[in-house]
């Protein structure tokens, strides 16, 4: 008998991570540009956790995004201020000072909505997305300075400051709130969903049911 999967989170019913509460509403919109290799992953892809829990978070799968109709709609909307969350020497650190530099501090109710594009893939695949999406690559880049290492327990990150997609979104919302640009009251929800996903995977490893994951 085949396993039954949840149509929303794409996980086995016994490991469903769909939240019982309505998605959190945020002022800003987060768009995950998800490489096909990441999009096909169902067990440990953390971008879907964010989409399940945040009302203004969406996934666009692909590699070349300049022609994507939804991406073009968001970028061309004069009501939006679009940024790319991606570390680079020219990227502006998103904190209170960074908000001033971006012209975002002291915004009133008529200020344009912040739209943040985030490449959801491995670092190697993210470079191919930037190469094939020059319009996205040309956006003003912002970066975060994580105060603690990644909470990954079933994967090894290449560098201490590298975060999973859901952790990066959590840090982004915290930074926007600290800069006075966001309201993010439930700061445990994304992290708790991330922990629950890993708890299930760890239990599967210990039961001998997930040989492709790292040994714990």
The tokens for 178 are: 């600290």
CB contact at 8 A, 142 and 166: no
CB contact at 8 A, 166 and 50: yes
Question: Confidence class of residue 157 from pLDDT cuts 50, 70 and 90?
Answer: confident
Give the mean pLDDT of the chain.
85
Quote the pTM value. 0.86
Q: Which of 90, 142, 97, 94 is nearest to 119 (CA)?
A: 142
Question: Per-residue pLDDT averaged across 116-123, rounded?
Answer: 92
Q: How many angstroms separate the Cα of 196 from the Cα of each of 15, 188, 204, 210? A: 9, 12, 13, 16
Spatial strand order of the sheet with 140-143 comes to 57-61, 29-34, 113-120, 80-85, 140-143, 92-93
| Per-residue pLDDT, 127 | 93
Interior angle at CA 192, CA 190 and CA 196, nearest 5: 120
**How does pLDDT run across 37-87, given as a tens digit for each residue?**
877 765 557 899 999 999 999 999 999 999 999 999 999 999 999 999 998
Q: What does the CA dihedral 9, 15, 21, 22 come to, rounded to 10 degrees?
A: 0
> What is the distance between the alpha carbons of residues 60 and 62, in angstroms, rounded to a whole number?
7
For residue 73, the surrounding DSSP H or E stretch is helix 69-76
CB contact at 8 A, 168 and 142: no
Q: How many angstroms separate the Cα of 101 from the Cα of each of 18, 91, 93, 104? A: 38, 11, 9, 8
């Amino acid at each position: 008998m085949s396993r039954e999967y949840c149509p929303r989170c794409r996980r086995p019913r016994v490991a469903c991570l769909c939240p019982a509460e309505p998605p959190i509403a945020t002022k800003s919109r987060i768009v995950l540009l998800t490489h096909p290799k990441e999009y096909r992953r169902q067990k440990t892809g953390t971008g879907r956790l964010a989409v399940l829990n945040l009302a203004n978070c969406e996934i666009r799968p692909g590699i070349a995004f300049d022609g994507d109709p939804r991406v073009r709609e968001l970028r061309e909307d004069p009501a939006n201020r679009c940024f790319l969350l991606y570390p680079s020497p020219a990227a502006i650190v998103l904190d209170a000072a960074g908000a001033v530099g971006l012209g975002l501090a002291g915004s009133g109710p008529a200020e344009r909505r912040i739209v943040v594009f985030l490449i959801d893939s491995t670092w190697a695949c993210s470079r191919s997305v930037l190469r094939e999406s020059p319009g996205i690559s040309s956006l003003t880049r912002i970066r975060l300075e994580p105060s603690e290492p990644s909470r990954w327990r079933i994967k090894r990150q290449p560098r201490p400051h590298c975060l999973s997609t859901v952790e990066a979104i959590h840090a982004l919302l915290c930074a926007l709130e600290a800069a006075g640009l966001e309201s993010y009251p439930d700061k445990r929800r994304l992290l708790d969903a991330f922990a629950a996903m890993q708890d299930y995977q760890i239990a599967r490893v210990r039961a001998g049911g997930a040989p492709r994951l790292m040994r714990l």
